[in-house]
Amino acid sequence: MSTITQEFTKGLWKEIPPFRFVLGLCPTLAVTTSMENGIGMGLAATFVLVCSNVFISALRKVIPDEVRVACYIVIVATFVVCVEMFTKAFVYPLYESLGIFIPLIVVNCIILGRAEAFAKKNGVIASMADGLGMGLGFTMSLTVLGGLREIFGAGEIFGWKLFEAMGLNFEPFAILQQAPGAFMALGLMLGVMNVLGKLGNK
Amino acid sequence: MGNMIKMIVVLVGISLISGIALGGLNRLTKEKGEQNVLKFKKVPAVISIIEGVSGKMSEADEEKVTQELLSSYKMIDVGEEQELLMFVTKKDGKPNTIVIEREGEGGYGGNIGVMVGFNIQSGNLDGIGITTHSETPGLGARVTEPAFQHQFIGMSKDSVFKIKKNGGIIDQVSGATKSSGAVADAIRKAKATYDQHKDELEEAVK
Amino acid sequence: MEVFTDMIALVVAAIFINNILLAQFLGNCPFLGVSKKMDTAVGMAGAVVFVLTLAALFTWLAYFMFLKPLKLEYIQTLAFILVIATLVQFVEMFLRKSIPALYKSLGIFLPLITTNCAVMGVTLLNIKNFKEYTKVWAGHELIVALVYSAAAACGFGLALILFAGIREKFEISRIPKVLDGTGIGLVTAGLLALSFFAFKGMI
């Protein structure tokens, strides 16, 4: 049991994507203009990650090695299309604001990376724990990044004018909402994570 | 050889299952998805026109009107590739405004989709609402704000629908000439369509 | 004549203003992964230009000759990724057999391209922008899509090569330890993106 817990928790801190496990940067940068989008993207990716990990692990003895990547791609893409349909039907505003980054989950390297590095060698339960941990870790990162960019870039949180409500006169750093701010915020956050990691190790 | 067959069988099997699953899922969610396009993109623009005419609605009313609009929209054939989307809005229970959507060209971030409302009695504008745009936040995107949109309420049908800089009567959003111009373009197009297909549109109201 | 200027505007916009890497965030994994040295960056840029243009052609054909007539638009994502993966496989086999010299310089980057979201992203954008293409160049949408894709790929290459040039300097600079590696890379990419803002007023 303890190994399952371990597989789950490693994604939350020790190997948290995209900081420790530097993959899946495109959606990280593109959709984190708000906290809501960050959470949405993270959960969508988590769903695909868990489902594809489970299926790939369940079929790992059936899939011949030579065509494994093709099989993985079909499985991952199937779940991505599911997510596309679900979001379009049930959370339309999110579908709109994530745009082409929903279909692009299919090329998110975290998912194929986990399939190749974990699911093809491990059991179903362990793969599920791994997918869930990695997915939630990714969601956490996107949420924090999205939150920071929304608070300091637009002065809002979930569309609620934070600084106005506090009575502060704060001019948001609009650049944080745009492309350069995304890169810089992620880079600096990576630095902060490294500092925290070092403190944690001591 | 056996290996080769296994490869093909597995690949085809996985693709087949995925295809069937997705086909089924598509049938379940398709209609809902299409309705969402109307609900979240088109209807809010129509609601903003209604609010301009009859004043702010309560949330409950808004929900009711949304449902009403979703079940009453019409697609009119105007001899183009795509049919024209048309809504009819009511005031005091009677049909008051014909709302049609057109796209204005020349925005800073591409085309701007605009719902334009024409008063059934007078033919004057009853207001506009923006459906789609990708203008710069804080600048061009301000064409979606009431400060810009209010000027169109009751604007005479004989006005020159151009921004003031180009000899028209539309007050532009400061610093966003292109975005304002694209909205004006959409209004001109809507007006042209309205004039040309007036009979069909009025027929559809009944 | 106007068609010609429109085309130039499209190309300039795709390379400088809406740079897929720095403004639309497509293809960031290889951007940070292979930009440490100039020659790998050049190799990757070449491979992307080549594959992206081909991918745009094949996904376009797949969409308009197969998916759309059969009303299967909803499996677009699945179909496109398969087309791209197959294409990359064929390009790899073809290059290895026919042009070994080119294979030597581009070959190792090809498998990475399947999961490069720049390729997938641009092919999706082509379909999404179909309506806009029609407005200006009715009847020639495919050509526009190909020009756009090639231009977008060149924009990717340009950003990648510029970035590799800057990054090579890191070897001899003093960088705060906590930011070493990806951290400083991202901050630099941000500054590069900022400098690309200067092109915004051009069109």
pLDDT tens digit at each of 206 positions of chain B:
678 888 888 888 998 999 899 989 988 888 888 888 888 888 888 888 888 877 788 888 888 888 888 887 888 777 776 778 888 888 877 888 888 888 888 777 778 889 999 988 888 888 898 888 877 777 778 888 888 888 888 888 888 888 888 888 888 888 788 888 889 999 998 888 888 888 888 887 77
Q: Give the mutation candidate from A96, A97, A171 for the B interface (greatest B CB count, under 10 A).
A: A96
Encoded tokens for C24: 């639309």
- pLDDT given for residue A137 in this prediction: 93
- Rounded distance, CA B109 to CA B137, Å? 11
Q: Give the mutation candidate from A48, A81, A120 for the B interface (greatest B CB count, under 10 A).
A: A81
- pLDDT given for residue C203 in this prediction: 63
CB-based contact A73 C82, cutoff 8 Å: yes
User: pLDDT (tens digit, 9 = 90+) per residue, B115-161?
Assistant: 999 988 888 888 898 888 877 777 778 888 888 888 888 888 888 88
- Which residues of chain C have a CB within 8 Å of the CB of A23? 29
Question: Exposed, middle or buried by CB within 10 Å (0-12, 13-18, 19+), for A40?
Answer: buried
What ipTM was estimated for this complex? 0.87
In the block, residue with structure tokens 């890379």: C185
Instruction: State the smallest CA–CA distance between residue B40 and chain C in angstroms.
Output: 19
Q: What is the pTM of this model?
A: 0.83
- pLDDT given for residue C1 in this prediction: 57
CB-based contact A93 B40, cutoff 8 Å: yes
DSSP assignment string, chain A: -HHHHHHHHHTTTTT-TTTTS---HHHHHHSTTSHHHHHHHHHHHHHHHHHHHHHHHHTTTTS-GGGHHHHHHHHHHHHHHHHHHHHHHH-HHHHHHHGGGTGGGGG-HHHHHHIIIIITTS-HHHHHHHHHHHHHHHHHHHHHHHHHHHHHHHSEETTEEHHHHTT------GGGGSHHHHHHHHHHHHHHHHHHHHHHH-
User: pLDDT (tens digit, 9 = 90+) per residue, C15-58?
Assistant: 998 899 898 888 887 788 778 888 888 888 888 898 999 999 99
CB within 8 Å of chain C, chain B residues 93-112: 105, 110-111
- Rounded distance, CA B143 to CA A154, Å? 19
Q: Which residue of A has its CA nearest to B10?
A: A63
B134 touches chain C (CB under 8 A): no
Encoded tokens for B23: 């086909």
Q: Which residue of A has its CA nearest to C113?
A: A107
B22 vs C74, C132, C135: nearest CB = C74
